[in-house]
Amino acid sequence: AQSVTQLDSHVSVSEGTPVLLRCNYSSSYSPSLFWYVQHPNKGLQLLLKYTSAATLVKGINGFEAEFKKSETSFHLTKPSAHMSDAAEYFCVVSGGGSNYKLTFGKGTLLTVNP
């Protein structure tokens, strides 16, 4: 079985300050991990993914995430928030190996204040 916990349902930051969105996972196998972003009334877009290569993963729009097996965490960060980053972010785990089914976290709403 696999599960994802996003530790904050809502994060609010000021423009130009760092962003940290926290995610813990549970998986019986070596998982693949993803971060997706959803802007209001839009579909989901892949930000980045971890697939057992480098533990520090760089994604689009300046986001990156670090896979920490010992902590079962995959936190998403960005050094400087932009107004256009305001959206909902989903941490996602797949089962590993040939298990391609995705399990989503409940989402973190990021608000960016001017």
Partner 1 sequence: NAGVTQTPKFQVLKTGQSMTLQCAQDMNHEYMSWYRQDPGMGLRLIHYSVGAGITDQGEVPNGYNVSRSTTEDFPLRLLSAAPSQTSVYFCASSYGTSGSHETQYFGPGTRLLVL
Nearer to partner 1, 15 or 102 (CB): 102
Q: Give CA–CA dist 36/12, Å, rounded.
A: 18
CB of 17: closest distance to partner 1 in angstroms? 26
Tokens of 67: 């896979």
For residue 26, which of 58, 71, 75 has the smallest C-alpha distance? 71
Binding to partner 1, residues 56-95 (CB under 8 A): 90, 94-95
User: What are the residues binding partner 1 (CB under 8 A)?
Assistant: 4, 9, 31-32, 34, 36, 42-46, 49, 51-52, 90, 94-102, 104-107
